[in-house]
Amino acid sequence: MNKYIEIETYDALLPLLVPGAVLKHYAFQNIEFGRNAVQCRFEDCIFFGCSMPDVMRAELSPDCCVLPKLPVPFNPFPAQLYTPSALYAGYDFRNPMTFEQCYDTRIYRHYMMHGKQAADIAETLARSLHDHSVSDALHDCLSRYDERRVVAVMGGHALLRTDENYRKVVLIAKHLAEQGCLVATGGGPGAMEAAHLGVWLAGRHDSVVDDALMMLAHAPSYKDDCWLSSAFALMEKMPRVSECCSIGIPTWFYGHEPATPFATHIAKYFDNSIREDGLLAIAKGGVIYSPGSAGTLQEVFQDAAQNHYRTFGYESPMVFLDSEYWCEKFPIYPLLQGLQQSGGYKNLLLSLADAPADAEQAIMRFVERQ
């Protein structure tokens, strides 16, 4: 049971400020309290990064908890997930040099200056509070969806926009979104970007996919100078025409890889371990694995263990895109099959797919079996 009612905007607060009211069990995030709040009494409330008059602070009951703003250049208490416009605030794709001054880059510089494993207790506290707030916002966002329709796409960050598997991932994600699935990825380039691009194009005819890929082809790798600006240019030329959403879950730990702006919601973390565990935990509708290397292999076996133990109550599909890759180059699929047959793993819903339709069907058969 949720003890505290979350108030995240002044507009949500205003109806509560009735003269003489006693406000109990509220959690306020980034609220600028005015003089009209002095007429109320606050008991057993939590204040995250709020500003308030001194007289109000003095009258708070002893069971209230006040977490003040901290001396860091990021907000430790974000009430909502990031949007591309918020994360890239200050960036103008027509002037790529502005990337160096955008919000995301400034946070990454601060993060690296203090170290990935920071020693300053104020810094580590601010990062932990930030990641807790992001997880809370992510939970709020996911609560609006059927958990069995949350599908993750995993794969390598190095997958080029010109690769055929990139195109396949775009189509898979587009079709899943159009059938009511919420697509989630690690929020970076490569296969992750492809999934978010597919959701961005949802509601349009499939032929638009090739038009979009042609626009991106001159910057196929995230290491290319125009990788980010070409994405923003495409978004301007081809705005969303559907309400389909996607969630990217990147991390400043890998901040040298820009987060894809095609994701409509971005849950960016400082702690990479929280981010990795969380991404697989929310993908209760299954995971599609496009070709990847060490990071993707780690996710495969972590997902297999979750399914084996039914960590979240039931097993979910594990769909491997590109049979040649997963059976010959990285023979993970026959390994998992053999381990399941021998009893080393149980509850694995394994399937191979080369065509986008096969991957989509493997997911939708599970999603619609309720």
The three-point CA angle 94-171-350 to 5° equals 130
251-254: long-range contacts, CB 8 A cutoff, minimum separation 24: 251/275, 252/107, 252/108, 252/111, 253/116, 254/188
Q: Give every CB contact of residue 138 below 8 A, 6+ residues apart in sequence.
A: 81, 247, 249, 267, 278, 282
Angle between helices 207-216 and 227-237 (to 10 degrees): 140
Specify which residues 24 forms β-bridges with.
Answer: 43
Burial class (CB in 10 A: 0-12, 13-18, 19+), 285: buried
Quick check: helix, strand or coil at residue 256? coil
Identify the DSSP state of 82.
B
The 10 Å Cβ neighbour count of residue 263 is 31
> Is the CB of residue 184 less than 8 Å from the CB of residue 279?
yes
Q: What is the pLDDT of residue 69?
A: 87
Q: What is the pLDDT of residue 263?
A: 98
Tell me the C-alpha distance between 370 and 365, whole Å.
10
Specify which residues 65 forms β-bridges with.
Answer: 46
> Is the CB of residue 248 less than 8 Å from the CB of residue 183?
no
Q: What is the pLDDT of residue 352?
A: 98
What digits encode the pLDDT tens for the residues 97-113? 999 999 999 999 999 99
Domain ranges of the chain: 5-67, 135-367
> Is the CB of residue 65 less than 8 Å from the CB of residue 4?
no
Q: What are the phi and psi torsion angles at 30 (to 5°)? A: 55, 40
What digits encode the pLDDT tens for the residues 186-210? 999 999 999 999 999 999 999 999 9
- The highest-level CATH class for domain 135-367 is alpha beta
Determine if the pTM surpasses 0.85. Answer: yes
In angstroms, what CA-CA distances link 3 with 22, 176, 267?
A: 16, 36, 24
**181-204 burial string, b = 16+ CB within 10 Å, else e?**
bbbbbbbbbbbbbbbbbbbbbbeb
Tell me the C-alpha distance between 305 and 299, whole Å.
10
What digits encode the pLDDT tens for the residues 11-57? 999 999 999 999 999 999 999 999 999 999 999 999 999 999 999 99
Pairing of strands 287-289, 317-321: parallel
What digits encode the pLDDT tens for the residues 264-293? 999 999 999 999 889 999 999 999 999 999
Of all residues in the chain, what percent carry a pLDDT higher than 70?
99
Q: What is the pLDDT of residue 1?
A: 57
Average pLDDT over residues 149-158: 97
